[in-house]
Every structure is written in C-alpha cells, then in structure tokens.
Amino acid sequence: MTSTKELEKKLAALMKSPDLFEKEIRDLKSEIAISRGGEKSLTAWETIQVARHKDRPTFKDYVTGMFTDFIELHGDRRFSDDLAICGGFAHLGGESVMVIGHDKGKTIEEKGDRRFGCALPDGYRKAMRLMRLAERFGIPIITLIDTQGAYPGLEGEERGQAEAIARNLVEMAQISVPIICTVVGEGGSGGALGIGVGDKVMMLSNSVYSVISAEGCAGILWRDGSKAPVAAEALKPTAESLLKLKVVDRVIQEPSGGAHSDYAGTFEALREAVLSELRPLKKIAPAKLTKKRFEKFSAMGIYNE
Amino acid sequence: MAWFSSRKATKETFSEDIWMKCPKCEKHIFKEDWQNSHKVCPKCNFHGKLTAWERIGITLDQNSFVELNSSISPADPLNFHDSKGSYKDKTSEAIKKTGLKESVVTGTGTINGLSVVVAVMDFRFLGGSLSSGCGEKILRASNYSYDKNLPLIIFSASGGARMHEGILSLMQMAKTCAGIARLNEKNIPYLSVLTDPTTGGVSASFATVGDINIAEPGALIAFAGRRVIEETIKQKLPDDFQTSEYLLEHGFIDTIIHRSEMKTKLHQILSFYGR
Ligand SMILES: [Zn+2]
C-alpha cells in the first residue's frame, strides 16, 4: 500500500497545474483521506471506501484477535455449509458467547469460496441454527456484520433467499438471550439485517449500513452508476447518520488511521464496547428482553401522522 | 364464450371503449370482461394489478371494512434528492395520483362473516415500496390483531424497500417481522397473500413468513432482480424463474389461488383455525 506521505508528495506535484489534473487531484485527495481513515472530514463515499478497504479486519481476524477458544460450527443441517457466514462458540473477556458473522475472506481463494461475504440462504439458516443452539443454553449472541448484501444468484432464489432472511428477522425478535450486533465493515441491505436484529446495534466509526449500495441506488435513481458518490451522500449510510436516526445505539471509534491500520486497537475498542453492553443485558429476564427488543424495533422509522 | 374467441377484433368492430389489449397475451378482450373478472384476462388467465381499494372490495364483506391509521403519510427523514427531484415532490405526486397517503391500506372487516385484520399494499403508490409509514401501518395492523386476537391477512404488492428513506426503510423489515413474531407466539393466524409483484425487502420480510403463504397465479416473487442475477452468474435464467409457480415448485408457497376464488378460500382456510 502506498503511504499517506507518498500520496501527499504526488498531490503536491499535481497541484502545480491544478487545471490540467483536476480529476486526478480530486481522486488523490479522496485516496489520501481514505488512507488516513477515521477522520471527521471523510465524505460518505470515502467512508464506504474505508469500510471496503482490502486490509480491513475480516471475521477470522476478529475471532482470533479479539475472542479466544473459538470453535467453528459448520452447516445449516438442510443443504450445505455456507462459508460466507461463519460462527461458533468463543470466549470474550471471560464470557461464553456464540459469535456469528459474515466472512469476506482474505486470500483470493478464500474470497472465492465465501463469495466475498455474500451469503446464500444456507448461511442465514446456519446462523439461525447457531442462535437457537445458543439460546437453549443461555449463551449470548454476538454478530459481526460485513457484507455487500445477500448473494444474488439462481441457487439463492431457488432455496429461498427471501424466506431465509425473513425467517431470521422473525426469529431474532423471539430469541431469549442477549443479542449484540455490530456492523464492522459493510452493512449491505437485507443481507446485513439477516443477522442484524439485536438488543444493541452498534457500528464501527468507519463502517456503513444502507438499504442499497450507492452504486445500485445511482443506477436506479440517477440512471448512471458513476453517480455513486452523489447517491452515497443522499443515502446517509455513515455511523454518525445512523446514530442520529436512532437505528444504532452506539458508534465505536476506530483508532486514528482506521481499523485497517491498527487491528489491536480496533479489537480492544470493540471488545470494551461489547462487554460493557453485554453485562447489563445479561441481568434482564428473557421475557423482558424480547419485549424490549420488540419495542426498540417498533420505534424505528420517521413518518407523518 | 365460444363465440367470443372465434370473433375477430377487426378494424370496424374495434373501439377503445369496448375493447382492450391484455397486457400479457396482447389479445383483444372486452373491457367489460376484464372488469367483471377483476382484471383477470379471460384468454390467458393473466392477473392484473388491483388497487388496494379494489382488493378490499372483492375480499371483504360489503360495508364491513373500517380503515385504521389512515392519516399516516411519508415524511422525508433524509431530505432526499435525486436526479429527478425531491422525495417530497415524489410523495405529494403519489398522494395526488392515488388518493392514498401511503403504499398500504390497513383496517378490519369480515370475510363471509369472519372478523379479520387486513393490510393491502398498492403498487401505484411509489411501486408499493416499504417506507417508515408503510412499516408503521403494517406493524399497527399486526398489533391490532394481537390485541383483539384476530387473524391477520397481508396482501403484498411491492418493489421492495423505499430507498429514499435510506436505512429507515430497511429497518421496516425487522419492525414488521417483529410484529409477526408476536402473532406466532400467541397463535394468531397470519396469512400472507403474495400478488404481482412481491420483491426485494418485502419478499425478504413479512410476505414470505405467513403461517400460510398464498400466491396469485403468475405473480413475480423475487429477492434479487433478474438482471442483477444474470449479470452476476453470467447465464440465462429459466422463463418461469421467480414466478408463483416456480416458488410453489421449490417449496416456498403453500398454494396458488385464482383471484375469483380468493375470498372463498381465505374463509375456508381460516375456518380450519377454528375461527
Ligand atoms: Zn391475456
């Protein structure tokens, strides 16, 4: 990766003829902002680039760096083991938890096997199987969200992508153990929400969460995919916006430079946030917990009456 | 009707007042037949889209319907503008055009004497999209079912979440499903009727999790768009892909019911619940 310093040097050179290199300068400025990460000055589009950064921690980094004793549990017991969603038992600061998340993979091969973290119905059904298992034994559930969206393909439709996600939304509303969801990278639409219904919903400061990708929205409403940066601003997918809209409860500040530049700092910040939310939730009686979760999601939305 | 199919719509007999073209098979049909069959083509069985009020008219007993929460209308939480203008203007236009305030009409009434709560989506209102207001109305309908112990029937017709409301529209999926979850716990019947089209965020929330999922014939029911899938997997998809019949075959629909039989069958199904 090119360092911020090198990029700045390049920018200084281009700035000598600003008219000639207008587009290059704009792109470079945005690249510099991204490589710095975590700073207030990022546009929505730049934040999306940070959330998608190739070096950003993925699920396996979190389970090894932040949790201990992870035991991966495979398969939906219906059709397959979808690697785009990974889950299993783990310890977090002395607490036994079920950790479940989208896994984008790191190597080219892993990314292929995981369809870059875009899950099939099998993945959502695996997640639900693990959640029900955790529930039976009173184990809290931690989900880590990082996906462009559910996988759009023939087999997904054939096996009920829509129903798999919908079923999770219904069942996550009923599960009687604490659920804490954190968007750690991309929160892409229904594919993200499919493991995103919890007592607490949090976001890392450079993550994004949106009903549709900026590119998809630009394609539909602007009829021009290249208008994605404009669509990104309009969709307001940043953590700060979601906190204002009361969709998330908490934004976890990433280390300066962004999660991709400081894994240990990111894990520490997330661990601290999860544990501080988890402890009070564990004291709430199961029936009250699901009632409060229902009330939390009931309150979402802004309309006139 | 044998005389009908043998008769040709010649230039002399063709009149826009009497004849129309079926949107599907493009054959000429009597406007009167189309209206009498509630927008079903007598030649190819194509089920056209009904407005929410047309649906209520053919489903609930006459004068039994009482609307609930009719004053809910869209806000503009993101101050959203796209290349064609503002979301505010779009919603005022939709309100003017349809006479509705949101993409769903909700209320109570009876089906052959049985009391039910219904939520009926209307595709004319911004493609029947799921917004904060729409989600709120559906949740309140399911809460009404819960409080009064009445069966809930939702007729879906939607292109999915309303992206002009950003993340709040996505959250309506979780919100409506949380309402359905409560009905399940109290064993209150929830019938989902999927009509053309039911896609995206509506198919991935309340529409596919009925105790019984019913579809009208030939409806488009999908999660992802056909074009997106073809671009992703780089291959052509079967013709019947994402239709009611395709979903029935793959196990996601309990039954396909013709529009002319819908009311009778809904009543019949509910009577099995001991209602
Ligand atoms: Zn026809």
A103: nearest Cα among A135, A58, A139: A58
Q: Average pLDDT over chain A, rounded to whole?
A: 94
Cβ neighbours of A286 (radius 10 Å): 13
Distance CA A78, CA B246 (A): 20
CB contact under 8 A, B78 and A220: no
Span from the CA of A221 to the centroid of ligand 1 (angstroms): 32
Span from the CA of B196 to the centroid of ligand 1 (angstroms): 15
CATH fold of A44-298:
2-enoyl-CoA Hydratase; Chain A, domain 1 (3.90.226)
Hey, of B104, B168, B241, which one would you mutate to test binding to chain A, going by the most A CBs within 10 A of its CB? Answer: B168
Span from the CA of A267 to the centroid of ligand 1 (angstroms): 60
Task: Find, in chain A, the residue whose alpha carbon is nearest to that of B183.
Answer: A170
ipTM score for this prediction: 0.94
DSSP B235: S
pLDDT (0 to 100) of residue B5:
45
Q: What is the CA radius of gyration of chain A?
A: 20
CB contact under 8 A, B225 and A152: yes
A67: nearest Cα among A40, A95, A32, A105: A95
pLDDT (0 to 100) of residue A287:
96
Asked whether A149 and A213 are in contact (CB, 8 A), the reply is: yes
CB contact under 8 A, A301 and B173: no
Condensed to tens digits (0 to 9), the pLDDT of residues B18-64 reads: 999 999 999 999 999 999 999 999 999 999 999 999 999 999 999 99
Asked whether A281 and A178 are in contact (CB, 8 A), the reply is: yes
Alpha-carbon distance values, A100 to A125, A127, A238, B10 (Å):
12, 7, 23, 65
Backbone angles phi, psi at A11, to 5 degrees: -60, -45
Task: Find, in chain B, the residue whose alpha carbon is nearest to that of A158.
Answer: B250
Number of A:B CB contacts under 8 A?
204
pLDDT (0 to 100) of residue A1:
45
Pair of tokens at residue B18? 């009497």
Distance from A50 to chain B by nearest Cα, in Å? 19
- Kind of pairing, strands B85-86 and B190-199? unpaired
| Three-class SS state of B257 | coil
Q: Average pLDDT over chain B, rounded to whole?
A: 94
What single letter denotes the amino acid at residue B106? T
Q: What is the pLDDT along chain A (305 residues), one digit of tens a residue?
A: 456 778 788 888 888 887 778 777 777 777 777 776 655 589 999 999 999 999 999 999 999 999 999 999 999 999 999 999 999 999 999 999 999 999 999 999 999 999 999 999 999 999 999 999 999 999 999 999 999 999 999 999 999 999 999 999 999 999 999 999 999 999 999 999 999 999 999 999 999 999 999 999 999 999 999 999 999 999 999 999 999 999 999 999 999 999 999 999 999 999 999 999 999 999 999 999 999 999 999 999 999 99
DSSP A227: G
pLDDT at B4 exceeding the cut of 50? no
Contacts of B173 in chain A (CB under 8 A): 165-166, 169, 190, 193
Distance from B55 to chain A by nearest Cα, in Å? 24
Condensed to tens digits (0 to 9), the pLDDT of residues A30-52 reads: 777 777 665 558 999 999 999 99
Distance from A74 to chain B by nearest Cα, in Å? 24
Distance CA A124, CA B207 (A): 17
| Three-class SS state of B66 | strand
Band (B101; pLDDT cuts 50, 70, 90): very high
Condensed to tens digits (0 to 9), the pLDDT of residues A178-225 reads: 999 999 999 999 999 999 999 999 999 999 999 999 999 999 999 999
Distance CA B90, CA B203 (A): 24
Distance from B209 to chain A by nearest Cα, in Å? 6
Distance from A12 to chain B by nearest Cα, in Å? 34
Hey, of B177, B212, B230, B236, which one would you mutate to test binding to chain A, going by the most A CBs within 10 A of its CB? Answer: B177
Pair of tokens at residue A231? 């669509």
Q: Domain ranges in chain A? A: 1-40, 44-298
Distance of CA A24 to the CA centre of its chain: 30
Which residue in B80, B83, B229 is closest to A154 by CB distance?
Answer: B229
Per DSSP, chain B holds a count of helices (H) and strands (E) of 10, 13
CB contact under 8 A, B208 and A235: no
Which residue in A211, A223, A301 is closest to B136 by CB distance?
Answer: A301
